[in-house]
Structure 1
Amino acid sequence: MLPLADLLMIGGAAFFAALVGGVTGYGTGLLLPPVLVPLIWAEAVVPVIGLSALFTNASRVAANRPDLDPELLRRIAPVALPATLLGAYGFTLLSGRGAAMLIGVMLILMVPLRTLARRRGLVLSGRGLTAASAGYGVVNGGTSGSGVLLLTLLMAAGLTGPQVIATDAAISFLLGLGKSAMFAARGALDLRLAGLALVIGLTAIPATFLAKRLSYRLPGHWHLRVLDGAVLLGGLLLIFRAG
């Protein structure tokens, strides 16, 4: 088990990441890797964050169930789940250095991908939605912080506001179950890491309620700029360490 000082630092980082994620709509899985990698190694980061996210996603589903879009859930989850399992399996084949490089590169790519999709006014339906769901599944299985892609996908499919939050949480929860099962079956998620995921998940719960109150007081979109800067810095640090 990690020393108490490390657990407190991880708990603080999890609270802050959940707070930022609750205000911006994403970011929890993007901000934690730079903190976790030096403590538990890169190959353990995606399994731990994936399991811890089950707590927040389950609570969001319960709180926003009336806004859930069952049609999109049925269209996206069955396509994304096998792709997620494939991505998770591929991640378990990476070395610690390879895992750190992959996470770092994906963190950096998430920022321009979100911006590009927003500016282009991306619209998805039919085969485009199916292809995007499969692509998202692979990325989700092998990296951390891919939630921004699912949010973008859902908005491009026509959802807004609470519908996005509820449907995103439901899909993420189902994919997270499969992802965690694959990691456990491959030996990438043991009881020690599961305990750490529990600490992160429980710490993040009160932050989500605080974030709801803060979101009404923050001016403009400055928090998105801060988040993007933090994500880019974290990705560069991971690549630097892996090199």
Structure 2
Amino acid sequence: MQQALQVIAVVAATFGTAALSAVAGFGGGVLLLPVFLAVLGTRDAVAVLTVAQLASNGSRVWFNRRDVDRRLVGIFAIGAVPAAAGGALLFATAPLPALTRLIGVFLLAMVVWRRWKPHAARLDDTAFAAVGAASGFGSALVGSVGPMVAPFFLARGLLRGAYIGTEAASAVVMHLTKLIVFGAAAVLTASSALIGLALTPASMAGAWAGKNIVDRLPTHVFVLVVETGLITSGLLLLVTGG
């Protein structure tokens, strides 16, 4: 009975966070991570999250494919791919208590960052590639960095579908890189890959639902939900990690 309830909770969380991400372009991964941590443990949680986020972001790319800024995705990838690979290798060997606390600190930092810098200056291509590098490295260690990089995509003048699709395409590049390294380092096991794939329909359905309500949900409501979840999860991980 308990296992069935856990499955229902994970599927529901996957659907809900995918829908929220499709509306605001970020936040789904960091809200889903605490659910996976509670059910799967630190290392498996990040591996499964990577598979689930690949499906969620891939769906958002498809639903907004006509608006994706492919050039910007390429610039982001120049920094993101090698940094994501390096971060994934570090993740594979880092001690679990340290990773748990790192994720807790990161979730709290997300809230501070969003409040301190809700808008970002428009960066040139070189600086944007550096943002890609920081994002790739951070994503490999903590699963998702969407709320931190979102302002930089918005600062490039991307709106609605262009913003959602371009940010998602950049995330797909990072997640693919991480999965290759996780697989080579035996972090991505057959069971964790199957769990992530099993959640793909929920991710795709959530992305589709979010696409259909993107003009209806007030952004401030979404941000409030995200920040409340981040603070709660971050504090719990800092207290229980170890």
- TM-score, scaled relative to structure 1: 0.90
Compute the displacement of 1:220 (Å). Answer: 5.7
Aligned amino acid, residue 152 of structure 1: P
Give the distance between the partners of 1:220 and 1:8, measured in 2 at CA.
27
Aligned amino acid, residue 4 of structure 2: L
Q: What secondary structure, in the 3-state scheme, does the structure 1 residue paired with 2:118 have?
A: helix
Partner of 1:114: 114
Q: What secondary structure, in the 3-state scheme, does the structure 1 residue paired with 2:226 have?
A: helix
CA-atom RMSD in angstroms: 1.9
Partner of 1:183: 182
Change (3 A) 1:82 1:25: same
Q: What secondary structure, in the 3-state scheme, does the structure 2 residue paired with 1:3 have?
A: helix
Give yes or no for contact 2:24–2:164 (8 Å, CA) kept in 1.
Answer: no
Give yes or no for contact 1:52–1:197 (8 Å, CA) kept in 2.
Answer: yes
Post-superposition, which runs of at least 4 consecutive aligned residues in structure 1 deviate over 4 A? none
Partner of 2:64: 64
Alignment deviations for residues 83-110 of structure 1 (CA, whole Å, 9 cap, x no partner):
0111111111122212211111111111
Aligned pairs for 1:5-20 within 5 A: 5-20=5-20
Give yes or no for contact 1:44–1:189 (8 Å, CA) kept in 2.
Answer: yes
Compute the displacement of 1:41 (Å). Answer: 0.9
Partner of 2:84: 84
Q: What secondary structure, in the 3-state scheme, does the structure 2 residue paired with 1:122 have?
A: coil
Aligned amino acid, residue 220 of structure 2: H
Give the distance between the partners of 1:138 and 1:128, measured in 2 at CA.
16
Partner of 1:145: 144
Aligned length: 241
Q: Does 1:172 align with 2:171?
A: yes
Q: Does 1:211 align with 2:210?
A: yes
Alignment deviations for residues 42-66 of structure 1 (CA, whole Å, 9 cap, x no partner):
1111111111111122222222122
Give the distance between the partners of 1:72 and 1:222, measured in 2 at CA.
29
Q: Which runs of 5+ in 1 are unaligned?
A: none
Give yes or no for contact 1:43–1:94 (8 Å, CA) kept in 2.
Answer: no
What is the percent sequence identity of the aligned residues?
28
Partner of 1:41: 41
Partner of 2:101: 101
Give yes or no for contact 1:56–1:205 (8 Å, CA) kept in 2.
Answer: yes
Give the distance between the partners of 1:61 and 1:216, measured in 2 at CA.
18
Alignment deviations for residues 142-170 of structure 1 (CA, whole Å, 9 cap, x no partner):
11231223322212333232211111121
Change (3 A) 1:92 1:155: same
Alignment deviations for residues 79-137 of structure 1 (CA, whole Å, 9 cap, x no partner):
21000111111111122212211111111111222232325x42211432232221122
Aligned amino acid, residue 236 of structure 2: L
Aligned amino acid, residue 53 of structure 2: A
Q: What secondary structure, in the 3-state scheme, does the structure 1 residue paired with 2:199 have?
A: helix
Compute the displacement of 1:7 (Å). Answer: 1.7
Aligned amino acid, residue 149 of structure 1: M
Change (3 A) 1:58 1:215: closer
Change (3 A) 1:87 1:100: same
